[in-house]
Amino acid sequence: MGKTYLVVGASRGIGAEVAKHFVATGHRVIGVSRTPAIAGEWLKADVSTPEGIEKIIQSVTSETIDALLYMGGTWEAGAFTDAFEITRSPYAETRRVIDVNTIAPIEITKGLMETLQRSSNPKAIFIGALSGFDNGATKEVANTASKFGLRGAVQSLRVAYRGYGVGFSVINPGNVATAEVLDDIQSGRFAAQTPIPMADLIQTIEWILQLSRDVDVSEVNLRQR
Ligand SMILES: NC(=O)c1ccc[n+]([C@@H]2O[C@H](COP(=O)([O-])OP(=O)(O)OC[C@H]3O[C@@H](n4cnc5c(N)ncnc54)[C@H](OP(=O)(O)O)[C@@H]3O)[C@@H](O)[C@H]2O)c1
């Protein structure tokens, strides 16, 4: 039977591919983004604002959501290229990155816990990054802090909501083969490399979703060879 997935970041990149995959495999997808979702039902919301977070929670409050797939995110302008310079990164940028990558996942999860509990095997899966680990930091301070913070938040959510029956997982990938990453490699903004195939990331999500209620995959790290 088809499940219902709430996919944050359904308009581009990883979230769009995840949304397309689950629609194509017969599931209902509610896709959150500011610009139109690529697949499924579009729920327009800006997760960097309290109003956007509240809109998401209220919109699905009477639904059964089988999984929150928090696949969206943001980073500093020019991040991961020579163009990024910390001294030119303003307060508003730090705020936006941490709002979207750390605060929104916490607050959306809190707001969805009752809704998730209606599922027979609910999960919350978040996209982290390898920069969220010791010795993995990059010069993009806000992005690094947001991904460290996300890992800590999810560890804590697992403790705080013990007994709710929800599985919590963070997937921390290296560069993933989104259109933007492929273009960055092609143009030379990124060094020559082979990014992680989207199919491998999607298979990781599928695997976590299919595990029983009795196990938590706390984190999965996907490294490029
Ligand atoms: N791509 C990679 O290689 C890679 C590697 C490691 C980790 N990650 C992580 O994966 C996540 C997604 O990366 P991506 O490459 O897929 O990015 P992307 O192509 O830029 O897509 C980001 C998605 O997040 C949504 N989003 C951003 N800000 C939002 C906001 N304020 N409100 C609602 N939605 C918002 C965007 O929708 P709208 O703009 O339409 O709102 C879009 O759908 C990020 O957290 C990133 O750190 C990516």
Ranges of each domain in the chain:
4-222
Q: Do 192 and 143 touch, CB atoms closer than 8 A?
A: no
Looking from the CA of residue 147, the nearest atom of ligand 1 is 47
Distance 194 CA to ligand 1 centre (A): 20
The answer to whether the CB of 33 is under 6 A from ligand 1 is yes
CA 70 – ligand 1 centroid, Å: 9
Q: What is the pLDDT of residues 169-197, one digit of tens each?
A: 999 999 999 999 999 999 999 999 999 99
For the chain, the average pLDDT equals: 97
| Closest residue CA from atom 8 of ligand 1 | 129
77 alpha carbon – ligand 1 mean position (Å):
13
* Per-residue CA distances from 199 to 25, 30, 32, 178 (Å): 14, 21, 21, 11
Q: Assign residue 165 a region (left: φ > 0; alpha: ψ between -120 and 50; beta: otherwise).
A: left
> What is the whole-number distance in angstroms between the Cα of residue 15 and the centre of ligand 1?
7
Give residue 53's pLDDT: 98
Residue 1 pLDDT: 78
Nearest ligand 1 atom to the CA of 173 is: 6
Find the 121 Cα to ligand 1 centroid distance in Å: 26
Q: Name the β-bridge partners of 171.
A: 127, 220
Q: CATH homologous superfamily for 4-222?
A: NAD(P)-binding Rossmann-like Domain (3.40.50.720)
Distance between CA atoms of residues 157 and 218, nearest Å? 11
Instruction: For residue 35, give the ligand 1 atom closest to its CA.
Output: 40
CA distance 4 to 9: 16
Q: Give the mean model confidence (pLDDT) for residues 28-55.
A: 98
The set of residues, in sequence order, having a beta carbon less than 8 Å from that of 202 and lying 6+ positions away, is: 17, 18, 21
142 confidence band (pLDDT: 50, 70, 90):
very high
Q: In this structure, are residues 75 and 143 in contact, taking their beta carbons and an 8 Å threshold?
A: yes
Give residue 68's pLDDT.
Answer: 98
Please state, in angstroms and rounded to a whole number, the distance separating the CA atoms of residues 63 and 68.
13
Q: Is the CB of 173 under 6 A from ligand 1?
A: yes
Gap between the Cα atoms of 189 and 178, Å rounded: 15
Q: Whose CA is nearest to atom 15 of ligand 1?
A: 13
Whether ligand 1 lies within 6 angstroms of the CB of 47 is answered as yes
For residue 40, what are the CA distances in angstroms to 19, 70, 204, 206? Answer: 7, 15, 21, 18
pLDDT tens-digit profile of 48-98? Answer: 999 999 999 999 999 999 999 999 999 999 999 999 999 999 999 999 999
194-202 long-range contacts, CB within 8 A, separation 24+: 194/224, 194/225, 195/224, 196/222, 196/224, 198/14, 198/17, 201/14, 201/17, 201/18, 201/171, 201/173, 201/176, 202/17, 202/18, 202/21
Counting beta carbons within 10 angstroms of the beta carbon of residue 85, is it exposed (0 to 12), middle (13 to 18) or buried (19 or more)? exposed
Q: Which of 8, 17, 34 to mutate to test the pocket of ligand 1 (most atoms within 8 A of CB)?
A: 34
Tokens of 62: 């009477």
> If we measure between CA atoms, which residue out of 38, 35, 33 comes closest to residue 72?
33
